[in-house]
Amino acid sequence: MFNLKKKDLKELDLMLLFATIALSVIGLVVLYSAYGGNIRPILTQLFATILGFVIILVLCTIDLDFIKRSYLGVYGVMIVLLLLTLVFGRGLDEWGAKSWVYIGSFSFQPSEIAKVGIIFSLAAFLDKHKFDINDKLTLLKVIAMAGLPIGLILLQPDFGTAMVYVFFVSAMIFIGGISWKWIGIFAGLAAIVGFFVLTNLSGYRLDRIENFLDPSRDTSGSNWQQQQGLIAIGSGMLTGRGYLKGTQSQYGYIPEKETDFIFSVLAEELGFLGAIIVIALFAIVIMRLVIIAKTSRNTFITIMLTGIAGLLFIHIFENIAMTIGLMPVTGIPLPFFSYGGTFQLISLINIGLALSASMQKKQYDDGIIDDEAINLLDVSMVRPSKRK
């Protein structure tokens, strides 16, 4: 499990590490402001951040090829957690989905924990079947494996989180080598399902779509949150109103400013310059994840890193886009910024897996091959078959 012989410290992706550290620090600073300078709520986030970086250190010593053999056990634990959420979950009245499990005063979101488990397990399964991914039986197993957690999350019901799963799972299956024929079929089915869902929306979900299409609709009711967020972002202008001096954020005009709309707090107090620096750091993180995935000769690592990049990208894009009116409002948090110990910890664990992979990326599947042998081998022997 711990195999430093397979690790090359010189290959550690320092850009990814430093960008993650910078985002984590800035996130804690902005979160402190979102809570109006109250330190107590920040302690949980701070603890999760410190624990996350400790786990990163541990993950950097782990042989990913070894632990991937336990993928079925990891997958089983994730499914059990999601099933427990349906039975013991809370939050339906407060947030519209019973996504939280409480053990005494401690609470966590199994759907967040399951993200890293599903990415890891699906990557291992796709790696195992990289040469027969387009076989009907194999593809059926992949769909079942990916569809079960998504279905359980929809039953909570947490539509936003389910769509996050759909995005990163689709990216992983695509990189896994699925043929264009199946891509076309699934895209057509997705369009039909999407049309059916959109035409049958009701309640607050329908309000969010209508508010997105008409930003001037119900600005004092269901569209209040987004309008106040936009006002905050606009009032920040170039350099911001100043730290702890945002009127919209400090006087409580923005609902959920500590979680879903924390980007509005950032943009109001630190301005366009602060927002663009944070977006640039996010871009570095995504770019480095893609580069590690692309340059790895290990199919499992490539697919896993694709899932992690897809997961972080959809969170970053959706959260920022909804605050500036480019996407409908959803309960999608911003990595390293939004309050939530579980979410913070899982985000850092994903980065830890990527950093561990960066030190192991020179290896071929399940083994170390010297440079002379690498030059003699056909790369197609360790890559998924070409799409037809």
Which residues have CB under 8 Å from 85's CB, separation 6+? 98, 99, 101, 110, 111, 152, 156
pTM: 0.89
C-alpha distance from residue 175 to each of 113, 146, 178, 225, 387 (Å): 23, 15, 7, 37, 10
Domain chopping of the chain, boundaries? 4-363
Bigger pLDDT: 153 or 97? 153
Is the Cα dihedral 237, 239, 242, 243 positive or negative? positive
Mean per-residue pLDDT, 202-214: 81
Q: Is the pLDDT reported for residue 372 higher than 90?
A: no
Q: What is the dihedral of CA 189, 191, 195, 198, to 10 degrees?
A: 110
Question: What would the mean pLDDT of 90-111 be, rounded to a whole number?
Answer: 78
When pLDDT is averaged across residues 63-70 and rounded to a whole number, the result is 84
* Per-residue pLDDT, 165: 94
Q: Where are the beta strands (DSSP E) in 66-161?
A: 101-103, 106-108
Closest of 52, 120, 62, 123 to residue 360, by C-alpha: 62
CA-based R_g, the chain, Å? 21
Specify the residue for token string 């930003």: 215
pLDDT greater at residue 257 or residue 377: 257
For the ranges 119-133, 210-224, 368-382, which has the lowest average pLDDT? 368-382
pLDDT at 367: 46
Mean pLDDT computed over 59-67: 85
Rama region for 300: left / alpha / beta (φ>0; ψ in -120 to 50; rest): alpha
Asked if pLDDT for residue 377 goes beyond 60, the answer is no
Q: What is the pLDDT of residue 362?
A: 64
| CA distances to 27, 54, 150, 219, 321 from 258, in Å | 11, 25, 26, 21, 17
Residue 368 has pLDDT above 50, yes or no: no
For residue 205, what pLDDT is reported? 78
- Residue 13: burial class (beta carbons within 10 Å; 0-12, 13-18, 19+): buried
Give pLDDT, residue 379.
Answer: 41
In sign, the C-alpha dihedral spanning 131, 137, 142, 145 is negative
Residue recorded with tokens 């897809």: 310
In one letter, which amino acid is 52?
Answer: G
Is the per-residue pLDDT at 374 higher than 70?
A: no
Contact (CB, 8 A) for 208 and 329:
yes
Mean pLDDT, residues 102-111 taken together:
82
Distance CA 79, CA 172 (A): 19
**b/e map 33-63, b = 16+ CB within 10 Å:** bbbeeeeeebeebbebbeebeebbeebbebb
Q: State the pLDDT confidence band at 94, using cuts at 50, 70 and 90.
A: low
Place of tokens 């009032």: 235
| Mean pLDDT computed over every residue of the chain | 86
Least confident segment among 14-23, 200-209, 313-322: 200-209
Look at residue 109 and tell me whether its pLDDT is greater than 50.
yes
Taking the C-alpha atoms of residue 345 and residue 204, their distance in angstroms, rounded to an integer, is 30
> Is the pLDDT reported for residue 225 higher than 90?
no
Instruction: Answer whether residue 369 shows pLDDT above 90.
Output: no
Q: What is the mean pLDDT of residues 80-102?
A: 81
